[in-house]
A and B are shown apart, each in its own frame.
Chain A
Amino acid sequence: MSTLIIRGGRVLDPAGGFDAVADVWIENGRIAAVGENLEREGAAVLDATGKIVAPGFIDLRARLREPGLEHAETIESGSRAAAAGGFTTICCLPNTTPYNDSATVTSFIVDRAVNRAAVRVLPIGGLTKDGAGEQLAEIGAMKEAGVAAVSDGDSSVMDAALMKRALRYAASFDLTVLEHCEDANLGGGDIHDGSKSMLLGLTGDPVSAETVILARDVILCREASARIHFAHLSSAAAVALVRQAKADGAAVTADAGAAYLDLTVEDVVPFDSNYKVRPPFRETSDREALIEALADGTLDAIVSDHAPHTGNVKMQELESCPPGITGLETAVSIAIERLLHSKRVSLPRFVELFTSGPARVLRRDDIGSLTIGGPGDITVLDLEREWTFDAETSLSKSKNSPFLGRVFRGGPAATVVGGRMVWRADSGLEA
């Protein structure tokens, strides 16, 4: 098998406590050595001078739409977008058609990923059957088939007793429950509840839709002696609850979606579905609280929250449009601008939020680090590269993004999965 040496970059491995200019040697798909002046005859060499060399980035939250909604995205197209976005591992939510609530669907995704995907794909199994919040899904069988976590995707289990049972049950299989916090009665709005929703006559989505469920789940997870991960938090109030729960010793983790570090309700273009996300973009103070929480350790990861939609569903009046925007190709660049260029988060902490942070959420020690003998997954970053996010060149099948046309400073320079270069900024996808 091939040998790859990534030469002369600033190698950052938060899990191993390594931060120095060095070479990374990958042999037979695995990390063989990290050190100075590594030489190996016949090795392919990637010059990373002036760049950051990190363990492969992990995304805890993407929707790949396959099976069932292949016009919007497939495992193949989504994984290519992930490669272009600097991710070497992506977790895909169960809200496909059919819903991933069985070993059959899980196996299909695993097989398809092996044959078609450009990066590693870890399926997330449904917490309840069909995501309906009524009966537990076959969590044990899905674990055997390869799910990395369980979640009801984009809805909360409204029945608190069932949620407590689900937390307990998932814990027996050592699976983290990933929770989208939204009270079904309070939530469901088109934009953040406030003066703008009032002005536009749109249904507002209040912070309480998020915090009511989050607070409930902290209580339930402590009582169930289980653990829970809160996904794509949107508000300062939610962050404060997580901070308190962690201080109290609850087994909780949480993440923020990259777009939420950039956009607020002020940026929302009226009636443009590319700004409709759930939870919604909130106020500047909420965005600042998310950034602060990423810096101080309250939040553990940054996610792409990739939600491709295409065709008729987005060509509707706003209230009929499903929420969600694409994110795999823009997440890292948004985070570079909002966290690094703004000097809000240190570089080692930044890398942690995309590597060992999400790996810990999944309780995986085989990804997210540069452990010798571990998988040769590497994300190379160029913090100064200027590039434009463009519908023509985007690798996702869907183009629903408020960032189309945006010029970013900084982004991935190369993506290496199992020692194989899958994407390079200067030449695109590798065949």
Chain B
Amino acid sequence: MTPTTLTPTIALGRPSRRNLLGIEELSRAAIEQLLERSRHYKTRRNQLDPKLSETLLGKTIVNLFFESSTRTRTSFEIAAKRLGAHTVSIQAQGSSLSKGESLVDTLNTLAAMQPDTIVMRHAASGAPHFLSRFLSTPIVNAGDGRHEHPTQALLDAMTILEQRGTLENLRIAIIGDIAHSRVARSNIHLLSKFGTDLVLCGPATMVPASLATLAPGITITHDMRRAVAAADVVMMLRVQLERQTTPIFPKNEYFQFYGLEVDHLRLAKPNALVMHPGPINRGRELSNEVADSRSSVILNQVENGLFVRMAVLERACAEDSQ
């Protein structure tokens, strides 16, 4: 009797040290290094530098998106191409198990073709973390469920840094459905490592008390005016109707209590920044006036996403030094 033959024999790969799975486990120094490289790429954006397109020459990067995405996928693709890498983008439909194949087997099949990096997005929290235990190919997390979206936090940090010159001693309000937001989690981890004062705001169904334990420096309020008071940055989150299986708020009154309007900005610091990970939902999360105001740095965020992803792909594809 050999019952073990029925157990899948998955070769446990050595998890790559070049993974970017989340911000939580990154050191402040590693974040600063990535931001530094991002800035480096940004300063060269208008120069015809042939070396730039040789950085990842001959490398193959697979973009594996189990959840639809236009901007993040495009941003990763352009970043890879600017650095000279080959890219293959795969839009996977639904769970791989529906085709009778496990997620590990799907990834193992791809890994057998020896890409240099796999960029993946998945609707389930922890999917890339789970896979990283079985694969030695570096994985870059392009968003996992409600857990982390590390490149979004890096591009947000880069944008704040450009506008404010520092990430330290700032008061940053994050407003919206934080419990279900991977953008918020990654931002909270990143900003907390720089000693930022974080004010989280939304109804208690979106901002439960247990969020306060996520990182040091967090305060929680359910009052929008209190949240934006004296803020240097107001980060609005997208209201993710598609991520809620059961409604956690009456959607018609959301804007009335948690939408950002020009009046709110008068309570914030002068020249406070308004940020949003996009796509924005005018009249749901912020008013037209705010979206189009000079405070809004939403398009700067999108632009910086490209440079951050160049830096992240460069790190993922780097040869191991030992």
Residues in chain A within 8 A of chain B (CB atoms): 71, 77, 194-195, 197-202, 270-273, 310-313, 315-320, 391-392, 396-399
Q: Can you show 8 pairs from A to B with CB atoms below 8 A apart?
A: A199-B24, A201-B126, A201-B147, A315-B10, A316-B102, A317-B124, A319-B125, A399-B7
Which chain B residues lie closer than 8 Å to A392 at the CB level?
A: 4
Which chain B residues lie closer than 8 Å to A77 at the CB level?
A: 1, 3
Q: How far is the CA of A313 from the CA of B96 in the complex (A)?
A: 11
Pairwise interchain contact B214-A199, C-beta atoms closer than 8 A: yes
**Known contacts A195-B214, A312-B97, A317-B122, A270 near B129 by CB under 8 Å:** yes
Pairwise interchain contact A318-B124, C-beta atoms closer than 8 A: yes
B residues 125-145 with Cβ under 8 Å of A? 125-127, 129-130, 144-145
Pairwise interchain contact A270-B126, C-beta atoms closer than 8 A: yes
B residues 89-134 with Cβ under 8 Å of A? 95, 97, 100-105, 122, 124-127, 129-130
Q: How far is the CA of A396 from the CA of B213 in the complex (A)?
A: 40
Is B208's beta carbon under 8 Å from chain A?
yes
Q: How far is the CA of A194 from the CA of B208 in the complex (A)?
A: 10
| Min distance, Cβ B126 to any Cβ of chain A, angstroms | 3
Pairwise interchain contact A317-B3, C-beta atoms closer than 8 A: no
Q: How far is the CA of A396 from the CA of B7 in the complex (A)?
A: 11
Q: How far is the CA of A312 from the CA of B4 in the complex (A)?
A: 14
**Known contacts A71-B6, A316-B97, A198 near B208 by CB under 8 Å:** yes
Pairwise interchain contact A312-B211, C-beta atoms closer than 8 A: no
Interface residues as binary, B56-95 with A (CB distance below 8 Å gives 1, 0 otherwise):
0000000000000000000000000000000000000001
- Tally of contacts, chain A with chain B, CB under 8 A: 97
Is B179's beta carbon under 8 Å from chain A?
yes
Pairwise interchain contact A201-B211, C-beta atoms closer than 8 A: no
Pairwise interchain contact B6-A310, C-beta atoms closer than 8 A: yes
Pairwise interchain contact B126-A320, C-beta atoms closer than 8 A: no
Pairwise interchain contact B8-A201, C-beta atoms closer than 8 A: no
Which chain A residues lie closer than 8 Å to B8 at the CB level?
A: 310-312, 315
Among A71, A272, A319: residue with most chain B CB under 10 A: A319
**Known contacts A310-B6, A316-B97, A198 near B125 by CB under 8 Å:** no
Q: How far is the CA of A388 from the CA of B37 in the complex (A)?
A: 48
**Known contacts A198-B213, A318-B130, A271 near B6 by CB under 8 Å:** no
| Min distance, Cβ A322 to any Cβ of chain B, angstroms | 11
Pairwise interchain contact A271-B208, C-beta atoms closer than 8 A: no
Q: How far is the CA of A195 from the CA of B179 in the complex (A)?
A: 11
Pairwise interchain contact A318-B125, C-beta atoms closer than 8 A: yes
| Min distance, Cβ A195 to any Cβ of chain B, angstroms | 4
**Interface contacts beyond A199-B213, A199-B214, A315-B8: sample of 7 additional A-B pairs, CB < 8 Å, sorted by A:** A197-B210, A199-B185, A201-B147, A315-B10, A317-B127, A319-B125, A320-B97
Q: SS class of chain B's interface: helix, strand, loop or mixed?
A: mixed
Q: How far is the CA of A317 from the CA of B124 in the complex (A)?
A: 6
Which chain A residues lie closer than 8 Å to B130 at the CB level?
A: 271-273, 317-318
Beta-carbon nearest neighbor of A316 in chain B? B103
Pairwise interchain contact B6-A315, C-beta atoms closer than 8 A: no
Q: SS class of chain A's interface: helix, strand, loop or mixed?
A: loop
Among B101, B104, B182: residue with most chain A CB under 10 A: B104
Q: How far is the CA of A44 from the CA of B12 in the complex (A)?
A: 47
| Min distance, Cβ B105 to any Cβ of chain A, angstroms | 7
| Min distance, Cβ A424 to any Cβ of chain B, angstroms | 18
| Closest A-B pairs by Cβ, 5 of them | A271-B126, A201-B147, A317-B124, A201-B146, A315-B102
Q: How far is the CA of A273 from the CA of B103 in the complex (A)?
A: 13
Pairwise interchain contact B147-A198, C-beta atoms closer than 8 A: no
Candidates B1, B124, B144, B210; contact of A320 at CB < 8 Å = B124
Pairwise interchain contact B105-A315, C-beta atoms closer than 8 A: yes
Beta-carbon nearest neighbor of A391 in chain B? B4
Which chain A residues lie closer than 8 Å to B177 at the CB level?
A: none
Beta-carbon nearest neighbor of A195 in chain B? B213
Is B148's beta carbon under 8 Å from chain A?
yes
| Min distance, Cβ A18 to any Cβ of chain B, angstroms | 38
**Known contacts A195-B210, A311-B8, A201 near B182 by CB under 8 Å:** yes
Candidates B7, B24, B146; contact of A311 at CB < 8 Å = B7
| Min distance, Cβ A304 to any Cβ of chain B, angstroms | 18
Beta-carbon nearest neighbor of B144 in chain A? A201
**Known contacts A312-B97, A397-B6, A399-B7, A198 near B103 by CB under 8 Å:** no
Which chain A residues lie closer than 8 Å to B147 at the CB level?
A: 200-202
| Min distance, Cβ B156 to any Cβ of chain A, angstroms | 18
| Min distance, Cβ B39 to any Cβ of chain A, angstroms | 29
Which chain B residues lie closer than 8 Å to A194 at the CB level?
A: 210
**Known contacts A312-B8, A312-B97, A319 near B179 by CB under 8 Å:** no
Interface residues as binary, B1-26 with A (CB distance below 8 Å gives 1, 0 otherwise):
10110111010000000000000100
Q: How far is the CA of A311 from the CA of B179 in the complex (A)?
A: 32
Among B3, B10, B95, B146: residue with most chain A CB under 10 A: B3
Q: How far is the CA of A89 from the CA of B129 in the complex (A)?
A: 40
| Min distance, Cβ B183 to any Cβ of chain A, angstroms | 11
Among A194, A270, A391: residue with most chain B CB under 10 A: A270
Q: How far is the CA of A315 from the CA of B210 in the complex (A)?
A: 30
**Known contacts A201-B146, A202-B125, A270-B129, A312 near B210 by CB under 8 Å:** no
Q: How far is the CA of A311 from the CA of B185 in the complex (A)?
A: 32
Pairwise interchain contact B148-A201, C-beta atoms closer than 8 A: yes
Q: How far is the CA of A114 from the CA of B228 in the complex (A)?
A: 71
| Min distance, Cβ B243 to any Cβ of chain A, angstroms | 11
Which chain A residues lie closer than 8 Å to B104 at the CB level?
A: 315-316
Which chain B residues lie closer than 8 Å to A199 at the CB level?
A: 24, 185, 213-214
Q: How far is the CA of A315 from the CA of B104 in the complex (A)?
A: 6
Q: How far is the CA of A271 from the CA of B148 in the complex (A)?
A: 13
Candidates A202, A397, A398, A399; contact of B126 at CB < 8 Å = A202
Q: How far is the CA of A313 from the CA of B103 in the complex (A)?
A: 10
| Min distance, Cβ B142 to any Cβ of chain A, angstroms | 15
Interface residues as binary, B205-240 with A (CB distance below 8 Å gives 1, 0 otherwise):
000101101100000000000000000000000000
